[in-house]
């Protein structure tokens, strides 16, 4: 037997209703905000992620699925959803269209990391990107989209926010961090030592206990913000208050990617049981330019679907089932033409039905109809068919009636 690769998971037919439920909710939210769907390839040129996600990120350094294709091109399976959307925005000259451009996607993402609960080497994301708008209203709207989505699933995670400042603020802050960490860097982990050289901001992300103690005393970004950055952030907070969006500021939140400017955020379990963020995002106003496009601000988020499903299961949230099967045809006769034409007529009229394909006895056909939860069974018996009629059984009430074949579709649709 050949097994599934480590860190991946099948979506099985008997679980697909959970995915459908979540995706339908996401599409419904997208419709309300007038966001259109985009789909980009699973693989891109490696350079896109090296330049987009950033050289100093763990993703690019350690976690990418990169290989040479048969034409000797370096190709990478996308580790996140944003870079591909931005590449497409630039390549298709969307910056020439009226702004904002809003798009959403469902995409698989690939990261070579140690598999653990809720962290897979292939996972799927629901993401939204909003191009061409800066300011409070766009920031608030992106947070509203995400919180509305969670709410539609019966969840109210807390929004954890931070403001990383504009390019100028960042420069000052990074300088302060260097001055603070340099004298004590030998007491910190190897990753932090590297981060001090490549991207000191990411030291704040370190989960090693000894590092955390030092990080706690580090200067706060809020002490380095210029007036514009300060005012914009305060503005956003007052809007979030008025919208009753539950948030908390966390000044060590930097997120693992290099491309963020100003706003970053994550969504966390409101009761603190879940030990990982349910999703996150922020603003990346320099990313389009960095990838060769005309300077365009972007704000967006991504939400991992596997982790979301796990979380919903842990909260005993009921996933709506797919639509129930309308009817199952129980056949007491052996007449392929008759059976398949009745089935065809039902399906042509929009009614879902199944018929026996594996030669079950009549008794086990009934059992099976029960098991698959069909609303009706249609019983084809020799005598009835002579009079052009069949027996229709309502599987919930047990009620049975004789129905003329011509009336079958209407009778089922009546119920």
Residues that bind Zn ion (CB under 5 A): 165-166, 169, 188-189, 192, 206, 208, 211, 226, 229
- Nearer to Zn ion by C-beta: 208 or 218? 208
Nearest-approach distance from CB 163 to Zn ion, in angstroms: 9
Helix (H, G, I), strand (E, B) or coil at 81: coil
Contacts 24+ apart (CB under 8 A), 8-13: 8/120, 8/121, 8/122, 9/120, 9/122, 9/306
Q: Are 129 and 85 in contact (CB under 8 A)?
A: yes
Cβ neighbours of 78 (radius 10 Å): 24
In angstroms, how far is the first alpha carbon of the chain from the final one?
Answer: 46
Which lies closer to Zn ion via its Cβ, residue 44 or residue 285?
A: 285
Smallest gap from residue 119 Cβ to Zn ion (A): 19
Q: Least separation, in Å, of the C-beta of 268 and Zn ion?
A: 22
CB of 195 to Zn ion, least distance (A): 8
CA distance 269 to 276: 8
Residue 125 or 162: the one with the smaller Cβ distance to Zn ion is 162
Distances (CA, A) of 303 to 13, 137, 242, 279: 22, 21, 25, 4
Q: How far is the CB of 226 from Zn ion (least distance, A)?
A: 3
Q: Residue 222 and residue 228: Cα distance in Å, rounded?
A: 12
Please say which residue, 206 or 308, places its beta carbon nearer to Zn ion.
206
Give me the least distance between CB of 161 and Zn ion, in Å please.
16
Q: Considering the complex, state which of residue 132 and residue 165 has its C-beta at the smaller distance from Zn ion.
A: 165
**By the 8 A CB rule, do 236 and 136 touch?**
yes
Query: Residue for token digits 């679980």?
Result: 15
Pick 18 or 202: Cβ nearer Zn ion? 202
């Amino acid at each position: 037997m050949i097994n599934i690769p480590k860190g991946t998971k099948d979506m099985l037919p008997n679980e697909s209703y959970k995915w459908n439920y979540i995706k339908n909710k996401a599409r419904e939210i997208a419709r309300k905000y007038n966001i259109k769907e985009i789909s980009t390839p699973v693989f891109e040129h490696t350079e896109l992620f090296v330049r987009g996600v950033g050289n100093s990120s763990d993703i690019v350094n350690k976690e990418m699925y990169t290989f040479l294709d048969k034409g000797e091109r370096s190709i990478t399976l996308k580790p996140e959803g944003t870079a591909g959307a931005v590449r497409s925005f630039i390549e298709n000259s969307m910056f020439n269209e009226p702004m904002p451009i809003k798009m959403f996607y469902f995409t698989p993402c690939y990261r070579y990391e140690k598999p653990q609960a809720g962290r897979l080497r292939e996972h799927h994301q629901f993401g939204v990107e909003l191009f061409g708008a800066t300011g409070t209203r766009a920031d608030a709207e992106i947070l509203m989209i995400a919180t509305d989505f969670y709410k539609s699933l019966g969840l109210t995670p807390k929004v954890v926010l931070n403001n990383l400042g504009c390019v100028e603020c960042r420069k000052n802050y990074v300088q302060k961090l260097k001055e603070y960490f340099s004298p004590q860097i030998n007491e910190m982990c190897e990753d932090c030592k590297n981060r001090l050289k490549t991207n000191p901001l990411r030291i704040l992300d370190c989960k090693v206990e000894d590092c955390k103690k030092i990080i706690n005393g580090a200067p706060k970004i809020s002490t380095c913000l210029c007036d514009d950055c300060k005012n914009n952030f305060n503005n956003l907070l007052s809007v979030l208050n008025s919208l009753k969006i539950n948030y908390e500021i966390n000044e060590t939140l930097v997120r693992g990617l290099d491309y963020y400017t100003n706003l970053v955020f994550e969504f966390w379990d409101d009761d603190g049981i879940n030990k990982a963020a349910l999703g996150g995002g922020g603003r990346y106003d320099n990313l389009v330019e960095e990838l060769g496009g005309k300077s365009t601000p972007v704000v967006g988020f991504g939400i991992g679907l596997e982790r979301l499903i796990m979380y919903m299961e842990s909260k005993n949230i009921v996933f709506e089932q797919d639509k129930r099967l309308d009817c199952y045809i129980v056949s007491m006769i052996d007449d392929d033409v008759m059976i398949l034409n009745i089935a065809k007529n039902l399906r042509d009229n929009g009614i879902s039905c199944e018929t026996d394909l594996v030669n079950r006895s009549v008794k086990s056909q009934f059992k099976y109809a029960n098991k698959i939860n069909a609303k009706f069974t249609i019983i084809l018996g020799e005598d009835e068919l002579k009079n052009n009629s069949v027996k229709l059984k309502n599987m919930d009430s047990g009620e049975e009636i004789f129905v003329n074949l011509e009336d079958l579709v209407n009778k089922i649709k009546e119920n």
